[in-house]
Amino acid sequence: MQKTALPKYLLLSQEIEEQISSRAWPEGRMPSLRGLAEQHRVSVITASRAIQVLRDKGLIARTDHSGCYLANPNQNSAATTWGLCLRITPGHWQKLAAVKPLAGFETLTRRGLANFYDGIDLGEGVTPIQLSAQVGKAVDAGVAGFFLLPSRQNEEWMQQDEHFLAACDAEGLPVVLVERNLRGHYRALERDLSSVDDFDGGVCCTRHLLKTGRRRLAAVVASPCSSHDERAAGYLHAVCIASMSGEFSGLDPTPRVFEVPPGLANKQVDRLLADRVITEKIDGVFCYQDSTAVGLIVELLSRGVAVPRDVAVAGFENLPIGDFFTLGLTTYNYPAEALAMNALRLMRARIETPDGPPLKLSARGELIVRESTGEERA
């Protein structure tokens, strides 16, 4: 079988990486993009893509008109150790929900791009003084910054996140938020954030439901946080545009966003949502996560409501349960590796420009259609 040749920019990145390994630029300054392009007889675009590969590997820190600069001329920074705190919402599906974000960062470790430290305990009852001590130990262990997935559980846990961030600030450690901003509606972004394109997820799932013939739609959210707000915003945007354009005849444009009350057990949530779906004659539901969607489907089926014939249900994240469930769940895939890679890019950029404004990078996922919604109509 004939092997597929690598793209030019990957070949060039390999050549430059070999030059870096052989200390071709001991002072840390390489030629400019144009200089590299001329030296290797490629286009500036090819040179730029090659340099981006090396930046992603942590070998190059920055580029400007005067040249490209190694992250450290005497050391490969790919082995930098970062702290990782993923505050997954407690519940029956907590372990499953942790799979996606954790997988992305594990990929970075396997690729040799970073090491991760998980010695921070943000459990219930941990005091600000204890958090400060833990962050100090992380610094002693060589941690250069933290990635934090903030809690969306309640105000108390949100305050604990704030105490943790203050402890990191006191130690001069940068923090990049993962997946969502700190808890709260319309909260100003004060830290760099690597997120899923939640708005796109809401739009994709809603338009898919419309294309399957659903005309009375609802979205389900649970917490006052940026990720849920943006998923709901995507749903509302899709319904509004569809109503104004007249693309889907018979559409009921009434916005319906069901917010799950805090403190309910999973079965109570399932019953509450099923009650509203049946009472309000909803025929298509977009849920903020797969476990909620599966719980709703099971409850609807137990009441004699056929899925997807009577009600189509879509989730978000593409957790394993959605594929293993007897009735396959339509969902928006969580781009774990891209999310982690963006977080690493943001961290490196923050270290390079510590006083810059907070930045946000969103990784787009994709719609995965299974049996819970049925096929789109022509």
Give the pTM: 0.79
Residues in the chain: 378
Structure-token match 């990486």, residue found: 17
pLDDT of res. 281:
98
Q: At the topology level of CATH, where does 198-333 sit?
A: Rossmann fold (3.40.50)
Nearest in space to 258 (alpha carbons), one of 241, 245, 275: 275
Alpha-carbon distance values, 216 to 64, 135, 219, 259, 300 (Å): 53, 50, 11, 17, 16
Predicted confidence (pLDDT) at residue 351 exceeds the cutoff of 80: yes
| pLDDT(75) > 50 | no
Query: Which CATH entry fits the domain spanning 8-70: 1.10.510.10, 1.10.10.10, 3.40.630.40, 3.90.850.10?
Result: 1.10.10.10
Indicate the average pLDDT of the chain: 89
DSSP state of 217: E
Single-letter residue type at 353: T
What are 9-38's pLDDT values in tens digits?
888 988 988 888 777 887 678 888 888 888
Q: What is the DSSP string of 228-286?
A: HHHHHHHHHHHHHHHHHHT-STT------EEEPPTT--HHHHHHHHHHHHHHTT--EEE
Evaluate whether 85 touches 148 at the Cβ level (below 8 Å): yes
Question: Tens digits of per-residue pLDDT, 274-332?
Answer: 999 999 999 999 999 999 999 999 999 999 999 999 999 999 999 887 777 778 999 99
Instruction: Residue 192: name the closest of 13, 350, 327 by CA.
Output: 350
Residues 6+ apart with CB under 8 A from 154: 183, 262
Query: Is it the case that residue 1 has pLDDT exceeding 60?
Result: no
CATH match for 77-196+335-363 among 2.60.120.10, 3.40.50.2300, 3.40.190.10, 3.60.21.10: 3.40.50.2300
Q: What pLDDT does 332 receive?
A: 97
Q: Do domains 8-70 and 198-333 have the same CATH topology?
A: no
What does the pLDDT average to over 212-231? Answer: 97
Phi-psi region of 179 (alpha: psi -120 to 50; beta: other; left: phi over 0): left
Task: Give yes or no for residue 94 having a pLDDT over 70.
Answer: no
> Of 98-102, 109-113, 165-169, which one has max mean pLDDT?
165-169
CA dihedral (134, 185, 264, 331) in degrees, to 10, reads -90
Domain positions in the chain: 8-70, 77-196+335-363, 198-333
User: What average pLDDT does this structure show over 220-238?
Assistant: 97
Most confident of 71-80, 130-139, 323-332: 130-139
Lowest-confidence region among 40-49, 226-235, 330-339: 40-49
Amino acid symbol at 91? G
